[in-house]
Structure 1
Amino acid sequence: MKKMKRYYKKGMWAIAAAVVLGASACTKNFELYNTDNTGISPDDLKGDFNDVRSFLVQAQRSVINFSNGGDPNSYQVQQNLNADCYSGYFMSPTNFAGGQNNLSYSLITGWNEEPFKVAYLNLMSNVNRLRQNGIDKDYPAVWAVAQIVQITGMSRVTDIYGPIPYSKAGSDKNNIAYDSQEDVYKRFFLELDSAGTNLRNQINGVNQPLPFSFANSDLVYDGDFTKWLQFANSLRLRLAMHIVKVAPELAKQEAEKALNPANGGVITGNAGNMLVKTTGTGISNPLVFIATNWADIRAGASIISYMNGYQDPRIGKYFDKSTDTKFSERYQGIRIGSTVDKPEYVTYSNLNVSGPNPSFTLRTPVQLMTAAEVYFLRAEAALRGFANAGGTAQALYEQGVNISMAQWGVNAGSYLTDNTSKPAAFVDPKNSAANAPAPSDITVRWDDAATEATKMERIITQKWIAMFPEGQEAWTEFRRTGYPKLFPVVNNFSGGVINSTTQIRRLPFALNEYNTNRAEVEKAITLLKGPDNGATRLWWDVQ
């Protein structure tokens, strides 16, 4: 994090770490954002550009919360130093704010509001520009893609905060109202209905052919509307499963709609993976940039524990071995919330960025959904007795593992028949206070005689391994299911607010919203049904 390093040299962390970060370290266009509570001003919507490609490309880039300047500071504070680590995938070797930061539950204001800022300033504003330019009426299939991009991005935002401005976002009124998370989700499903209809009409020749090449505007599927439709159905399935505990009937209805073959199908092969391209876009893969250019992120203890214990053949595709000369070469993670010193911990396992054929380079597309995730979603649907799952829970579970292995180019071997290997205990060779016993005793091989809870843990654990490195969805899955079982933070500096065992459930609302939209934020807190802190559960996060 380049600007953070400058502040370290000035010694400003000791004065006011949160103010420094919130005001100037890792936000872009902050003055513009600060003038409007959603980041969308009326002037934004008059069409500074008339180029469909420009708006749609910027919206797609914003889904990964990578601000348009080519600098991944934004991605780092909104996802990498939050959800990526809360999911068990990563931990930073860098001692930000003297260890008093989000990784130890001392939540920093500037980090907490970054997802909100990017969502409205970069994502919603560009989608609204498309609408203002008449794309919804002139080119409904293109508008459908814009809607799907918006839902993809905004579902991540509501799953960070809970209530958010959505139905009124883009309005030129002051005091933009927040919607409850329940209403936001219901609106997502309605928008997916509209998008699905428009895509099917385009695919089936009901709509007129586009007078331009849509491929030039598409950073994901090269203009293939069939793949966009399959992703939309897969996204619907994901969102349906998010709410299965709090709204089981609605979840069942939406999941079965997603899985109904008449609606166009879901992602079934790795060619349909939702990957945002970086080549030719002017951006780098932000996670790889942070790991290599800044060396600010390394493997988390939880995922290393599971993959080492299972002898998972993907581990060498995900990570490099440690380079530390003080202990033997191995896959070594850092436990979240550990007391770290960068020279001592930067030598722990990095992403697989070395060797002749590394999995991760600055040009690697950013992964948001894979076929493997969809198979595991279908396995859960089958376990719950939903229609159209397309197989038994066991068959879909095993397909999920196998297609993930294929995605990473490894041989599954006897992985699926292994009924003895379990997650490993964690040992930090430089800090015994971080050592911990194995987080779970779940094995890989399916057992149809197991309890429903064991079957669910098995599905979600393998799903979590397969979704790497997409930490935002992995954190959501952990919160909604309790799986996989993750190591808690070593140091909890929340002042007793966040329970180490329960772990963090959300991020607080943006400070800028308190400053410019306080009355609506206070209403949002009533919708949240709990205090605005990291311990309050979201609508779908029921015990």
Structure 2
Amino acid sequence: MKKIVIIYILIVSISSCTSDFEELNKNPLAATEVPTPTLLTSATQNLINVNSGLGYNKTMMFYSQQWAQRETTTRSLYGLSAEGDWSAFYGILPEVMEIINLNSGDDKDRYSVYGKNENQIAVATILKVWVFHNLTDTWGNIPYSETFNNDITLPKFDKQEDIYPALIQELKDAVALIDTNASGFSTGDLMYNGDMAKWKAFANSMRARIAMRMSEANPSLAQTEVADALGSTIFTSNNDNAVVAYQNEEANANPLYIEFLTQAWTFIAEPLTELMNTYGSGTDSSPSDPRISKYADPNVDGDYIGFPYGLDTSDTFFYAIDERSLPNEMTRAIDFPSYIMTYSELLFIKAEAEQRGWFGSVADAATTYQQAITASMEQWGVSGTDTNTYLAQSDVQYDASNWKKYIGEQKYIALYSQGGNAWSEWRRLDYPVLNFPMAATTNATEIPRRYFYPNSEGAVNGDNLAQAIADMGGDTFSTRMWWDQ
């Protein structure tokens, strides 16, 4: 019997996702067979719409205080306790899992026309790990090991401390499958166009990210995996960045472009512009960090001034729109890319590993730190002259005695546009210092450390959800990740 490929549009919860999967398999008329490259393209498009969209990513840009809201500040004030909807993340997985299933089943030979089976499995596994890593870093304990199992309709919530090693192993298994001498996806690969050497570098670079994220919670495993990943095939330049450009069409456009067609409610946040102007002797009209002109548009006076963060909605109207900086026109372009992981981030991981004595030499940390900043400057199109001027400033130069501050702040700046990742790194290193908005709702007593679980999950998987909440010690904004020590 011919294998049926399923494409899902929306999944309300992981529990309902499982039952939907069963129903569609029973009804071939409800499904259409689709080539694996089409599945990959769709999954990747859904992934970047989460990574750079106006839902999850926009909220994370607010939580990390890189963007600020005007006119409606609910998210900046942590008033969306019911917005813990993870369907966008879990909605990526059916297509990814189907690629794996089709390339490992009895009919796998018929799918090898689209690329070597093992390479297709490896690519899908890498994307799967990205999804689950972001899920667990947002909610903590999540359904993982029992998802997409037709025999289990109510999956358990795995503990984050168990998920992390499992994700690392999945990446190692994916790398072991990759054959760089064989074909990757013949079409449909929006990220690397079938270049399996780049997929291998991405997998190892992401493994370094995941391993470093647990540096305070499981330092022995973190050290082992960071060192092993950095000693493997990894990013070596910005040409290796995991990045997908949006298209020059509204159907597949940069979400920020779509927002600005009708409204201008999102601004660069004052905490970010003040931090970028703190380094060196820069002024608002001549910023010390040249990336600010790439991140933000100047105001009516030609200055780069962010919008105050965390104001009550009524107070935002005291600030004229043209007096504050909007996101740069480049970042609002219809085809602006979605950055998933960059060479700069990898170099910051390497610098931290060197500083911790986990890899290479401690003496190399300062040089790698400067290389990380340089890579970020290059990524954003800053000239070499401006980069060198910035690096030469005394308060930009690395201070090993306060390395968490220097790496934390510079990494935070370099992660602009990656809201979820910037938020996670702030939670891990506690830099830069961000202030809790005085107007915040009663839902939070501090800047959120996690999302609330989806309200719908209690209705469909209540017992397992209750156990997850008990294991984590609560379902609040203040409940910390396992790795957030």
Q: TM-score, normalised by structure 2?
A: 0.86
Alpha-carbon displacement from aligned partner over 1:292-337 (angstroms, at most 9, x marks no partner):
54323110111111112231011111110124xxxx4421212332
Question: Which of 245, 261, 279 does residue 247 from structure 2 map onto?
Answer: 279
Post-superposition shift, 1:365?
1.3
Superposed CA offset, 1:67-124 (max 9, x none): 9xxxx9xx323220x21111121011131xxx4x332122341x221xx101122x11
> Post-superposition shift, 1:391?
7.2
Aligned to 1:86: 63
Name the counterpart of 1:146.
124
* Structure 1: distance between partners of 2:362 and 2:203: 18
Residue 16 of structure 2 aligns to a residue whose secondary structure is coil
SS across alignment from 1:76: coil
Q: Shift in Å at residue 493 of structure 1? A: 0.9
1:401 alignment partner in structure 2 = 373
Counterpart CA distance in 2 for 1:215 and 1:315 is 39
Selected match of 1:322 from 285, 289, 299: 299
Q: Given that residues 192 and 236 in structure 1 are in contact (C-alpha distance below 8 angstroms), is that contact kept between their aligned partners in structure 2? A: yes
Give 1:266's aligned amino acid: I
Match of 2:112 in 1: none
8 A Cα contact 1:44 1:129, kept in partner? no
Does the 8 Å contact 2:242/2:341 carry over to 1? Answer: yes
Residue deviations 1:211-266 (CA, integer Å, cap 9, x gap): xx725221111111111111111100000110010000110111011011xx3x21
Q: Distance in 2 between matches of 1:66 and 1:523?
A: 28
Aligned-pair RMSD on alpha carbons? 2.5
Task: Give SS of 1:191's match.
Answer: helix
Whole-angstrom CA distance in 1 between matches of 2:122 and 2:362: 26
Identify the match of residue 275 of structure 2 among 281, 306, 309.
306
Amino acid corresponding to residue 522 of structure 1 in structure 2: A
Question: Alignment partner for residue 126 of structure 1, among 95, 100, 106?
Answer: 95
Whichever residue aligns with residue 156 of structure 1, its letter is N
Match of 2:206 among 230, 235, 238: 235
State the identity as a percent: 28
Residue 429 of structure 2 corresponds to residue 481 of structure 1: yes
Amino acid at match of 2:355: L
Q: For residue 215 of structure 2, what is the aligned residue in structure 1?
A: 244
CA–CA separation in structure 2 for the residues paired with 1:225 and 1:456: 34
- Taking the aligned partners of 1:292 and 1:154, their CA distance within structure 2 comes to 33
Deviates further, 406-415 or 379-388: 406-415
When residues 181 and 132 of structure 1 are mapped into structure 2, their CA distance, relative to the original with a 3 A threshold, is: same
Q: How many residues align?
A: 448
1:494 aligns with 2:442: yes
Tell me whether 1:521 sits opposite 2:465 in the alignment. Answer: yes
Q: Which of 455, 476, 482 is the equivalent residue of 1:533?
A: 476
In the aligned structure 2, how far is the partner of 1:154 from the partner of 1:267? 22
Other-structure match for 2:197: 226
Contact 1:284 1:363 in 2 (8 A): yes
Q: Which residue of 2 aligns with 1:373?
A: 345
> How far apart are residue 287 of structure 1 and its match?
3.2
Partner of 2:450: 506
Distance, in Å, in 2 between the alignment partners of 1:331 and 1:280 is 28
Distance 2:24 2:336 in 1: 32
Summarize deviations over 1:43-78 as a string: whole Å, max 9, x none. Answer: 4568643310121112212223449xxxx9xx3232
Asked if the contact 2:13–2:87 (Cα under 8 Å) also holds between the matched residues in 1, the reply is no
> Which stretches in structure 1 are left out of the alignment for 5+ residues?
1-27, 420-442
Please tell me the residue identity of whatever aligns with 1:447.
D
Structure-2 separation of matches of 1:384 and 1:288: 41
Q: Which amino acid aligns with 1:58?
A: S
Deviation for aligned residue 1:29: 6.1
The one-letter code of the counterpart of 1:170 is F
Pair 1:63-2:40 in alignment: no
For residues 153 and 295 of structure 1, what CA distance do their matches in structure 2 show? 30
In the alignment, which residue of structure 2 is the partner of 1:178? 157
TM-superposed CA distance for 1:477, in Å, is: 0.3
SS of 2:306's partner is coil
1:351 and 2:327 are equivalent in the alignment: yes
| Matched residue, 2:398 | 446
Summarize deviations over 1:435-480 as a string: whole Å, max 9, x none.
xxxxxxxx311234xx2xx112101111111111111100000001
Alpha-carbon distance, 1:166 to partner = 0.9
2:339 partner SS:
strand
Judge conservation of contact 2:305–2:325 (CA < 8 Å) in 1.
yes
What is the distance in 1 between the residues matched to 2:56 and 2:234? 29
Task: Please report how far the alpha carbon of residue 407 of structure 1 lies from its aligned counterpart in structure 2 after TM superposition.
Answer: 1.6
Does 1:42 pair with 2:11? no
| Cα 1:385–1:44 shift into 2, 3 Å | farther
- Residue equivalent to 1:432: none
Q: Who is 2:285 aligned against?
A: none
Gaps of 5+ in 2: 1-7, 110-116, 280-287
Which of 350, 357, 364 pairs up with 2:336? 364
CA contact (8 A) 2:103 2:121 kept: no
Structure 1 ranges of 4+ moved more than 6 A: none
Q: Which moved more, 1:151-160 or 1:48-57?
A: 48-57
Q: 1:398: how far off?
A: 0.6
Matched, 1:216 2:187: yes
C-alpha distance in structure 1 between counterparts of 2:350 and 2:41, whole Å: 31
Pick from 285, 299, 304 the counterpart of residue 331 of structure 1: 304
The amino acid that maps onto 1:400 is A
Aligned residues of 2:14 and 2:87 also touching (Cα < 8 A)? no
